[in-house]
């Protein structure tokens, strides 16, 4: 019986994993600079968490969730996104009571959405995201956005564009909602069944309907920015001013509607404008959410964050011709010139590995030439050859594979010498 990957999933092979490590490391360094700490939540949650959190009129909840009943008959869902689980954990662990406020968290891991797979869109994909809970200060909005932008710059992605919008506060959104209903209602029968249901439930969702996005009424729909009250406008202006102070360029797109229901005030997306990327260029999306903690029975707490698609970031790097490391460094390859040296080779690689020096040996009974070839194929920085005289004297020729230079090193000095060379 031959098996294949489920549609929309990928194996990340060892050749690629070094790139993932590189991105994760770079992100963790930046998260540390900004003082965000990692949180790990389960891969599945109670279905209701997403229904209430992300919103049951969204495509994610109504069409794309991997939902199943567990053996106890409870409805569970593989997480389609990371914000609702993080907010659940924030409430469950009463982090609103932490002395340290705001609570700044980051996460990474697989998310699951039953979408039509295509370039940059999978059913299991990976996000790195952050959430800052407990502050409604506009400088946090600017911080969250700058963290994402600085990450992209750090890994070498320059051709990116930051697009922003504001959905305003509750009052502004209610006014906008009325305007949308008045706009669509006379011709709502020209829209798909979902949109007809959305009209009174959540008319904002009509704007990002995948079926009706070409309808002329969608293009002429009233934009939220015209409905922002003074407070919401002032907030948005402050966020923009902070971004300008950090010299972060952005464009305002009044039609930017994110596909999740929890947003208010600032929303943003960062796109790759690399040529040939195609339709799916959004690398990162996020925004403010003020009602979610309360929705999950916590005290009224403002939050803001983003999620970025790791596969899409890797794709953007590829399109931009930016090469990332493909494998981890191999410091020393131990070569055996005769069978009698096998035990010493086992002992030596063990000593090196225990000293945090990456080491490798032959396992296929290759001749010296074959082992040397293996060492250079693996990119070994150094080799030592164990032959008769080496076994007798305990002195090895340490060869620098790049320069060809050799130096004699006593076995007892090997670890110290390699550690110095690695610095």
Separation of alpha carbons 244 and 31, rounded Å: 22
Q: Which is nearer to ligand HAM, 263 or 382 (CB)?
A: 263
The answer for residues whose C-beta is within 8 angstroms of residue 345's C-beta and 6 or more apart is 334, 335, 336, 361, 362, 386
Site map (CB under 6 A) of ligand HAM, residues 239-278, x = contact: --------------------xx------------------
284 binds ligand HAM per the rule CB under 6 A: yes
Distance CA 86, CA 28 (A): 18
Among 55, 285, 298, 302, binds ligand HAM (CB under 6 A): 285
Residue 95 as a binder of ligand HAM (CB under 6 A): the answer is no
Position 19 contacts ligand HAM (CB under 6 A): no
Residue 36 lies near ligand HAM (rule: CB under 6 A): no
If one asks whether residue 342 binds ligand HAM (CB under 6 A), the answer comes out as no
- Site for ligand HAM, residues 108 to 147, rule: CB under 6 A: 113, 115, 120-122, 125, 127, 129, 131
* 306 sits near ligand HAM (criterion: CB under 6 A): yes
* 76, burial (CB in 10 Å: exposed 0-12, middle 13-18, buried 19+): middle
Cβ(396)–Cβ(417) below 8 Å: no
Q: At what angle do helices 138-154 and 230-245 cross, to 10 degrees?
A: 40
Q: Does residue 291 belong to the site contacting ligand HAM (CB under 6 A)?
A: no
10 Å CB burial of residue 40 (0-12, 13-18, 19+) is exposed
Instruction: Mention every residue, 6+ apart, whose C-beta is less than 8 A from residue 287.
Output: 167, 258, 263, 264, 265, 266, 267, 268, 304, 306
Residues 6+ apart with CB under 8 A from 98: none
DSSP, res 223: P
SS (H, E, C) 118-179: ECCECCEEEEEEEEEECCCCHHHHHHHHHHHHHHHHHCCCCCEEEEEEECCCHHHHHHHHHH
Report the residue number, 312 or 399, with the smaller CB distance to ligand HAM: 312
Q: Which pair of structure tokens corresponds to residue 277?
A: 């990327």
Q: Quick check: bond before 328 cis, omega within 30?
A: no
- One symbol per residue from 46 to 85: x for binding ligand HAM (CB under 6 A), - otherwise; what is it? -----------------------------------xxx--
Q: Segment contacting ligand HAM (CB under 6 A): 237-245, 290-298, 301-309, 316-324? A: 301-309
Residues in contact with ligand HAM, counted by CB under 6 A, come to a total of 27
* Closest residue to ligand HAM: CB criterion: 309
The whole-angstrom separation of Cα 368 and Cα 374 is 10
Does 106 engage in binding with ligand HAM (CB under 6 A)? no
Stretch that binds ligand HAM, among 236-244, 308-316, 361-369, 373-381 (CB under 6 A): 308-316
Q: How far is the CB of 87 from ligand HAM (least distance, A)?
A: 9
Residue 319 touching ligand HAM (CB under 6 A): no
Contact region with ligand HAM (CB under 6 A), list: 13-21, 97-105, 299-307, 346-354? 299-307
Q: What are the residues binding ligand HAM (CB under 6 A)?
A: 81-83, 113, 115, 120-122, 125, 127, 129, 131, 259-260, 282-287, 305-309, 311-312
């Amino acid at each position: 019986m031959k098996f294949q990957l489920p549609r929309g999933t990928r194996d990340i092979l060892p050749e690629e994993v070094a790139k993932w490590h590189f991105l994760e490391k770079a992100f963790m360094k930046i998260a540390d600079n900004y003082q965000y700490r990692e949180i790990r939540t389960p891969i599945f949650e109670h279905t209701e968490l997403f229904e209430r959190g992300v919103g049951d009129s969204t495509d994610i909840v109504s069409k794309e969730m991997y939902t199943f009943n567990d053996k106890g008959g409870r409805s569970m869902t593989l997480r389609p996104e990371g914000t609702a689980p993080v907010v659940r954990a924030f409430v469950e662990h009463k982090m609103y009571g932490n002395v340290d406020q705001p609570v700044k968290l980051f996460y990474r891991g697989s998310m699951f959405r039953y979408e039509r797979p295509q370039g940059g869109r999978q059913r299991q994909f990976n996000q790195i995201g952050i959430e800052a809970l407990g502050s409604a200060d506009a400088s946090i909005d600017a911080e969250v956005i700058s963290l994402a932008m600085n990450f992209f710059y750090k890994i070498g992605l320059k051709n990116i564009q930051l697009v922003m919008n504001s959905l305003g506060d509750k009052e502004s959104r209610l006014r906008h909602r009325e305007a949308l209903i008045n706009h669509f209602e006379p011709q709502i029968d020209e829209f798909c069944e979902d949109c007809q249901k959305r009209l009174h439930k959540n008319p904002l969702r009509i704007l990002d309907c995948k079926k009706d996005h070409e309808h002329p009424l969608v293009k002429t729909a009233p934009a939220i920015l015209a409905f922002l009250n003074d407070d919401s406008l002032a907030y948005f202006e402050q966020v923009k001013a902070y971004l300008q102070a950090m010299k972060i360029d952005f464009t305002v797109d009044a039609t930017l509607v994110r596909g999740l229901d929890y947003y208010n005030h600032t929303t943003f997306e960062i796109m790759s404008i690399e040529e040939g990327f195609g339709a799916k260029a959004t690398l990162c999306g996020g925004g403010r959410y003020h009602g979610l903690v309360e929705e999950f029975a916590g005290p009224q707490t403002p939050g803001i964050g983003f999620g970025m698609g790791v596969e899409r970031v890797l794709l953007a790097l590829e399109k931009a011709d930016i090469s990332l490391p493909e494998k981890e460094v191999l410091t020393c390859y131990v070569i055996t010139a005769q069978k009698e040296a096998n035990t010493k080779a086992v002992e030596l690689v063990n000593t090196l590995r225990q000293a945090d020096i990456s080491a490798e040996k032959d396992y296929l009974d290759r001749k010296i030439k074959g082992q040397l070839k293996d060492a250079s194929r693996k990119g070994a920085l150094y080799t030592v050859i164990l032959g008769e005289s080496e076994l007798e004297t305990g002195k090895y020729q340490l060869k620098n594979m790049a320069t060809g230079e050799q130096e004699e090193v006593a076995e007892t000095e090997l670890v110290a010498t390699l550690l110095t060379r690695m610095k």
